[in-house]
A and B are shown apart, each in its own frame.
Chain A
Amino acid sequence: MSDQRIFSRYKAYEIRAELQQGNVKKHRASAAKRKNALKKIIANITMGFSSEMLDLFPDVLEFWRIDDNMEVKRICHQYLVAMASTKSNHFEDALRLVVGDLTSGSERLQTLALRTLAAVPLDPYADECHKAVRTILQKSSNSEKLKKTALYAILKLLNYDTTRASPLLELLYDTLSNHREGPAVRANALFILNEIQETTPMLQNFSVDFDTCADMLELLAKLNEWDSARVLDSLTGSYVPHSHSDAHHFIEKSVSQLQHNNTSVVLNAFKFVLYLTKYVDYLTERLLKQLSGSMVSLLNKPAELQFLVLRNIILLLLGKEKPVLTIDISYFFVEFNDPIYIKDTKLEILYLLAKEDNLSQILQELKEYATDIDIQMSRKAIRAIGNLTVKLEQSADECIALLIELLDFEVEYIVQEIVSVFKNVLRRYPERYELCLEKLVRFTDWVQEPESRGSMIWIITQNYSHLPNYLELFQLFANNFLDEVLEVQFVILGSAVRLFTRNPTPVTEKLCVDILKNATERIDDPDLRDRAFVYWRLLSFAQNGQNGNIGMDAAREIIDGTLPPIALNTQLDPQIVEELELNIGTIASIYLKPVNQVFRLNKPKSLPDSPALNENREPLTIIAGDSRSRSSSFIADSIQPEFRRQSSSPVKKMDDYDKPAETINPLKDRRKSSSPSLHLSRKPSMLARKLSLRRPFA
């Protein structure tokens, strides 16, 4: 086909020649040729040669005038929009033509012209656009499509000049409340109002009342799928239920949308229903089942959508003591053909779902993955096992047994990973697993990666009293001090000093002094050097006893104080969860970050206040079956004990030391930059970052 030639670079004069070649009008062959030439212009603009194509402006205008063909018109309009940034003075001439199209009888041309008017950021165009929008929206005979285009034009005009366009908002309100308008028009008016409220400082108090909301939900059946999704999206947050019964009413109305085939409708309906559940006094078991079911069935969609759904499931699991979703863990078993980002996310979910009663099943799976052919996967699985050990105290034995079993495979990367995770395990249960130590230190020669080396050194130091040959082992690392990476050097320095303070013998003293000497004299890194100096000074103060304030005991307390216990926090701050839940299906839900943390422009969402709002967010009563009578109101826990998350006493905070143990993904670059004294004062955001996608697949 000749189209192939279209996609190559042309000079303006070449195309002009072609355009003028057959200027005898009404001739079929020349019309085709002309069209071909016009196509070349567009192709060249696509390839980025727009400045060259700018020369053809007068020619394009000429054809616009004489040619009635829809396709030619379309290309001309497209040309105009593409050239908008040049602000060429031909635009004045063009405006007349655009307005001409706008007043032509044809709806398609009108739409095209209106779009062009709104897309060209020039004052005269905006003026015309204002006029056009008003006349179109006020005339009831215009078609739905044209009116929709006019509505979108308002959005564009607002972006172009906010103050001038603000009177148009009235028009939007009128359209929304006008019952004679077509369903799609009203739906889009709602959507645009909501969009304006979200992205601009205007319309702060935009809200939808009960009747409008009811109307909109009635319209759903008549809308196309995208419009339905938008309506559900817009209603979330803008309609505020004033009583429990209102909320119940709308939940019932919208729950059927969960069965739509279009993922975006389902997710938006899910969001809307979940939002409404904040305003009710009880939930029915059936509703919860429907919600869970709708999520599960989305897991069979293409990978990208599946990924989005999985991330949202994580969000829902993170949020609650008692998650809304009850999904069998087997759905999150990793499939061989899954893309790796899906596997990764599933692993995270498995970890979050793990509880005492399903642990053995999950461990069995993790073991499969740990011996997987894919090294990344295997490492992540081991890390997950390690974290589970820390998380589930009662089942720690089972997890440890598996780790030891995997250790016996004697595969290099498995060993390294296990050593890395064992640090946290031993820190969590200091006196419980000494028996494993022997086994671990057998692999001292195996550990090569900085993290596992650091971990091994820490383990040796911390448990020296159980290891008769600890000095020998430690020496292995200490001798290498200068060649290690910075991260390991820090650990060696700290460990050497600690060994000395714990067990001050001539041997440990020499060891300690050697390291301090090396660190202060032969290391270039200022942080490491300074720390060595601090240690050294502290120790010499303490030993000389010049200053009465610091004795050896005090120094020991400083250097080797008791570590705060590790606790895992698998929950986000309720405030953030609340915001994220209003953002289901958006990017924020993938990154699990509150919107305004990244973009100041976007406003944080929060649940609007209402008498019906479940203020203290206590778990709702769940009623079995459909009955509305609350005769048998028992708490959800008693119905579905297996789905209840282990709610350990108030969540302990771990805001010192390493990274939280639940990170499945080692965030390599981050770790380097964060010195060991990383302070996690803002824990939720930290967790959000761990779960973020920035570098999740390291």
Chain B
Amino acid sequence: MASSIYFCDTKGKTILSRRYRDDVPASAIERFPALLLEAEHESSIIPPCLTHNDVQYLFVQHNDIYVLTMSRSLSVNVAQIFSFLYKLIAVLEEYVKTVEEESIRDNFVIIYELLDEMLDYGIPQITETKMLKQYITQKSFKLIKSAKKSKNVVRPPSQLTKSVSWRPEGIVYKKNEAFLDVVESINMLISANGQVLRSEILGKVRVKSHLSGMPDLKLGLNDKGIFSSDNSADKPGESTGKRANIELEDLKFHQCVRLSKFENEKIITFIPPDGDFELMNYRLSLPIKPLIWCDAKIQVHSQSRIEIHCRAKAQIKKKSTANSVEILIPVPEDADSPKFRYSHGSLKYVPEKNAILWKIKSFTGGKEYSFAAQLGLPSMSDVDVPKVKRPIQVKFQIPYFTTSGIQVRYLKVHEPKLQYQSYPWVRYITESGDDYTIRTA
């Protein structure tokens, strides 16, 4: 698949590289900085794949580095390569915290080892950090001690040969706990006149598992798809519950979930990897009203000043509270001398973003706040009327609340050998997604 993998700095110069096949000449990487420059020069945008001399350059950007793979074949599986590169970055983050130029240089030996384990002949292999950590210990100097102790070279763990490739055996916890986080991000696009153009809920269930042995877990949700088919036979009490069952779309599961079992019986069962992982995610595109509604009237008196009147309302239950609400309202470039009047939160002009940032630490449901702002505009300006077409962006977090109404009904932990008691914990949170925006007129 991938012929080689490179870590490059912002200019495209190699920091570290590993070649798996010889079909791409070693000199091909030298073209990469030039190609980046060319792409940038031509259109100021760089697509994630470039071609030169029949060599495919596929890369993702992360912090100040490019992670690049090269391949010669046009039928190379890009899906696999991009997914792998993201996985690789995630794994490296577990080892070196932030993946950036410096940390890569500092840890190049470990990274080489990781690359050896994760790819064989350019083909992705194990990418579960827990499994990799058995092969490659955290810091190289730790290895010296173990080498002193055992004359024999460390035996490899036998777990890789087991059918559960993501969980080693022999994990022991004093207290057996499983933490479930149900996180829903709301993406919303609202037109200037308040009409919701698009809304969707992206949910995920994150699990932190501190469980001993090889536990088998069974998760019950109030999803219609999951419950309707087993006819609540095993849970007769549930069907009369007050909460309506909801229907989730596009469920996606971690590799540990038995997909065929879910497909046939609609039961989510799995042997979890140890530690943190994302069990499942889902998407719902039901129309929802804006949780944080915001209406800004922006009046531009060209060449003198701009006036902004903004109202925001938390359209959530009275009991709920939205935390760390941030509303970013765009203003023209070169605005100056801001004057604000506001009742709640803090208001700040952020010149580097050309925007006003309104922060409200806690925003109780049903409340409505507002502010008025006035900024001066330079009297001399270009002939063109300054156009502000950037949208208002809103960020927030609402704890103890899911917009979709999804509920965890039960999480059963069954470890056949150890038979211990375990404690499942569940938290819910709703937050703004990457795109919660309101267009300005």
Binding site for B on A (CB under 8 A): 1, 3-4, 6-7, 28, 31-32, 35, 39, 42-43, 46, 68-71, 73-75, 78, 104, 106-109, 115, 118, 121, 143-145, 148-149, 152, 155-156, 159, 182-184, 191, 198-199, 220-226, 228-230, 233, 253, 255-257, 259-268, 293-294, 296-297, 300, 302-305, 307-308, 328, 330-331, 333, 335-337, 339-341, 368, 371-373, 376, 411, 583, 585-591, 593, 595, 598-599, 601-602, 693-698
Contact = CB atoms under 8 A, between A and B. Distances in A.
B123 A261 contact: no
A118, A328, A368, A694: which has the most chain B beta carbons within 10 Å? A368
Given A256-B260, A303-B48, A695-B42, A585 B80 contact: yes
B109 interface: yes
Given A224-B166, A300-B283, A71 B121 contact: no
Contacts of A297: 249-250, 252, 281-283
B125 A221 contact: no
Interface in B134-158: 135, 140-141, 143-144, 147-148, 151-156, 158
Contacts of B43: 340, 376, 695, 697-698
Contacts of B407: none
Contacts of B249: 293, 297
Contacts of B80: 226, 229-230, 233, 264, 268, 585
B153 A143 contact: no
A259 B251 contact: yes
A28 B148 contact: yes
Contact of A307 (B42, B48, B278): B48
Given A46-B17, A305-B82, A341 B45 contact: yes
12 contacts: A39-B109, A74-B112, A106-B153, A152-B120, A260-B252, A302-B60, A304-B48, A305-B82, A341-B45, A341-B47, A587-B73, A591-B74
B156 A108 contact: yes
Nearest to A589: B78
Given A152-B123, A182-B161, A599-B74, A261 B280 contact: yes
Contact of A224 (B79, B126, B280): B126
B382 to A, nearest CB: 12
B54 A305 contact: no
B120 A115 contact: yes
Nearest to B131: A224
B234 interface: no
B56 A70 contact: no
Interface string B21-64: 11100000000000000010011111111010010101010000
Given A143-B158, A260-B253, A308-B79, A4 B127 contact: no
Q: Which 8 residue pairs across A and B have the least CB separation, nearest first?
A: A297-B250, A585-B79, A256-B263, A697-B43, A264-B80, A226-B124, A340-B45, A267-B79
A300 B202 contact: yes
B313 to A, nearest CB: 22
Interface stretch (B100-108, B303-311, B340-348, B373-381): B100-108
B243 interface: no
B338 to A, nearest CB: 21
A32 B153 contact: no
B77 A585 contact: yes
A335 B285 CA distance: 16
Contacts of B79: 229, 263-264, 267-268, 305, 308, 585-586
Contacts of B189: 330, 333, 335
B437 interface: yes
B161 A143 contact: yes
Given A78-B112, A264-B84, A333-B197, A259 B252 contact: yes
Nearest to A596: B74
B240 interface: no
Nearest to A228: B255
B431 to A, nearest CB: 14
Interface in B269-285: 278, 280-283, 285
Contact of A697 (B45, B123, B156): B45
A595 B83 CA distance: 22
Interface string B398-431: 0000000000000000000000000000000000
Given A43-B108, A148-B125, A340-B45, A599 B54 contact: yes
Interface size grouping (class) on chain B = 35 or more
Contacts of A590: 49, 78
B113 interface: yes
Contacts of A335: 189, 434-435, 437
Nearest to B204: A261
Given A68-B151, A229-B79, A297-B283, 19 more contacts: A68-B152, A78-B112, A109-B153, A199-B73, A230-B123, A256-B260, A256-B262, A264-B84, A297-B281, A328-B285, A330-B189, A331-B198, A335-B434, A336-B435, A373-B387, A373-B388, A587-B75, A589-B78, A591-B51
A549 B259 CA distance: 78
A68 B146 CA distance: 11
Contact of B47 (A331, A595, A696): A696
Given A28-B148, A585-B80, A595-B74, A307 B112 contact: no
A382 to B, nearest CB: 15
A69, A71, A599: which has the most chain B beta carbons within 10 Å? A71
B160 A143 contact: yes
B76 A587 contact: yes
B262 to A, nearest CB: 7
B384 A411 contact: yes
B390 interface: yes
Given A259-B262, A340-B45, A693-B49, A152 B75 contact: no
Nearest to B148: A28
Contacts of B218: none
B327 to A, nearest CB: 15
B46, B82, B116, B282: which has the most chain A beta carbons within 10 Å? B82
B434 A305 contact: no
Given A68-B151, A152-B123, A583-B75, A293 B156 contact: no
A183 B164 CA distance: 11
Contacts of B197: 330, 333
B156 A304 contact: no
A372 to B, nearest CB: 5
Given A78-B112, A144-B160, A268-B79, A69 B143 contact: yes
B362 interface: no
Given A28-B148, A106-B153, A152-B120, A296 B283 contact: yes
A553 to B, nearest CB: 48
A590 B75 CA distance: 10
A244 B146 CA distance: 60
B361 interface: no
Contacts of B16: 46
Contact of A372 (B281, B389, B393): B389
Contacts of A697: 39, 42-43, 45, 47
Contacts of B109: 39, 42, 71, 75
A563 to B, nearest CB: 32
A337 B435 contact: yes
B289 interface: no
B220 interface: no
Interface in B153-191: 153-156, 158, 160-161, 163, 165-166, 189
Contacts of A7: 105, 108
Contact of B434 (A156, A337, A586): A337
Contacts of A191: 123
A260 B270 CA distance: 13
A39 B390 CA distance: 50
Contacts of B130: none
Contact of A598 (B48, B74, B77): B74
A361 to B, nearest CB: 9
Contact of B86 (A32, A305, A336, A696): A305
B258 interface: yes
A587 B278 contact: no
B78 A71 contact: no
